[in-house]
Amino acid sequence: MRWNYRLVSAVLVLTSIIGISFALYLEHVQGLEPCPLCIFQRIGLIGMGLVALIAFIHNPISNGFKRFYALLATLSIGWSVGVAARHVWLQ
């Protein structure tokens, strides 16, 4: 299987959808109330998914656009990782 840019974008979109779906399942079905830090983590995950979706639809040819989308997705998921680290540190 050969990994290309479009396939990686699709995997990131799918990962984001699965992560948000699981968070919503825990909230609405299991009855767990999310704290504000959990909500901030979701924002970063949704941001990464949206950037990956735009990259998937656009399917850029130039490396400049690919790097731009990768930078935006990295910043977005980096936000979530930072919030998660803070969350772990607080607990």
The answer to whether 69 and 55 have CB atoms below 8 angstroms apart is: yes
Residue 22 scores a pLDDT above 90 = yes
Q: Is 52 exposed, middle or buried (0-12, 13-18, 19+ CB in 10 A)?
A: buried
pLDDT of residue 91: 81
pTM, two decimals, is: 0.89
Return d(Cα 37, Cα 41) in angstroms, integer: 6
Q: What is the pLDDT of residues 37-90, one digit of tens each?
A: 999 999 999 999 999 999 999 989 999 999 999 999 999 999 999 999 999 999
Q: H or E stretch including 55?
A: helix 36-58
The answer to whether 47 and 90 have CB atoms below 8 angstroms apart is: no
All structural domains of the chain with their residue ranges: 5-90
